[in-house]
A = this chain, B = another copy of it.
Amino acid sequence: MRAVRFEGVGRIAVQELEKPAPGSGDLVVRVEASGICGTDRHILRGEFSSRPPVTLGHEFSGIVEAIGPGVTRFKVGHRVTGDPNIACGLCPSCRAGHVNLCESLEAIGVTRDGGLAEYVLVPEKQALSLPADLPPLYGAFCEPLACSIHGVDIAGLRPGMSAIVLGGGVIGMLVVQLARLAGATRTVMITRQAAKRQLAEQLGATASADPSAGDAVFDICGPGGLLSGGADVVFECAGVPDTVALAPKLARRGGAAVILGVLRPQDRVEIAPLELLLREVRLLTSFLNPFTHARAADLIATGAIDVAPLVTRQIGLEEAPGVISEPPPAGEIRAIVVP
């Protein structure tokens, strides 16, 4: 079978590999859709820890093609999404139920072979059902949605609250929808590209703003601003120092800023402790998808979250190395690979 192999910093190519065979408790999944994510680009540049040579692709779904001994919940022909993050179950974090903080985390598509291939091996514990009649591309959004759900859980958003979302990528577009789902009556998307602001409003943002157009804090939180006094929750989904610095300033008294963005190891951001204290703002972080993948699959299966407008390109495996090697073009939300 063909697979997109990461071979070392800067080296990526489609190669021919053996089709995987299912071990005990394993599913072999024929990949229907596999998303290309910023993390894949980070891996290629050596900014995110991986274990080459390895097949990339941690956002994928497909059809069960074969099952190993001991598999009880899935049959050949089922559609499934794979939760890529495999916790060890043995470290102190796992023992405390913080599986996303596992000290020996394995991840499909990062440290073991992933979904940018014709077939991928998925332990039964990492697989979740999707309906047979779901459009095949949608399943690739379960992973980013599961991470976004975790962020919204951490934020404690409740009906009648307000939210600001910084960054109009796939995470930002999913968080906008989740904020609406969680009852936010006002949600403001802040991103630079006008097309993304428009899409966000179509997906449920009640307003949007361009952060480069002026003093975002004053324009939004000042008297007469879009959200005078600030938002109950600010979600940082851009992954750059500027937005991390902005996030707590946009939170209202008693509010929270939740960082979802993955910055570079060397990035530093300045905070103003007294300002946080006097307003008792919480600066939170949200990492991966602990126990949220099933809810993500359900929200996509029921159509509660709309992912169709997030597919900006559909490409083949052969094109994937090139797409990963380049920064995303303007307007791109998600390129989905159909092997």
A residues apposed to B, CB below 8 Å: 72-73, 89-90, 92-93, 95-101, 103, 124-125, 128, 149, 152-153, 158-160, 178, 181-183, 185-186, 229, 241, 244, 253-254, 259, 261-265, 267-287, 290-291, 293-296, 298-299, 302, 304
Contact = CB atoms under 8 A, between A and B. Distances in A.
Nearest to A91: B73
A263 to B, nearest CB: 5
Given A182-B159, A295-B159, A284 B285 contact: no
B294 A96 contact: yes
A160 B303 CA distance: 11
B253 A103 contact: yes
A183 B185 contact: no
A281 B286 CA distance: 9
Contacts of A244: 273
A138 B203 CA distance: 28
A254 B285 contact: no
Given A263-B274, A273-B259, A304-B185, A280 B90 contact: no
How many copies of the chain does the oligomer comprise? Answer: 4
Contact of A254 (B98, B182, B254, B277): B98
Contacts of A294: 92, 95-96
Given A263-B277, A269-B271, 5 more contacts: A181-B183, A263-B273, A265-B275, A269-B270, A281-B285
Contact of A153 (B158, B254, B259, B271): B158
B285 A276 contact: yes
29 contacts: A90-B125, A93-B253, A95-B128, A96-B295, A97-B97, A97-B290, A152-B158, A152-B159, A158-B182, A159-B295, A160-B181, A160-B295, A160-B299, A178-B183, A182-B183, A183-B183, A259-B277, A261-B277, A262-B277, A263-B273, A267-B274, A268-B271, A270-B270, A273-B285, A277-B287, A280-B286, A282-B282, A282-B284, A283-B283
Given A185-B298, A262-B277, A298-B160, A95 B271 contact: no
Contacts of A299: 159-160, 185
A287 B280 contact: yes
A92 B295 CA distance: 10
A272 B268 contact: yes
Given A159-B178, A159-B299, A299-B159, A279 B101 contact: yes
A286 to B, nearest CB: 7
Contact of A101 (B128, B254, B275): B254
Contacts of A296: 160
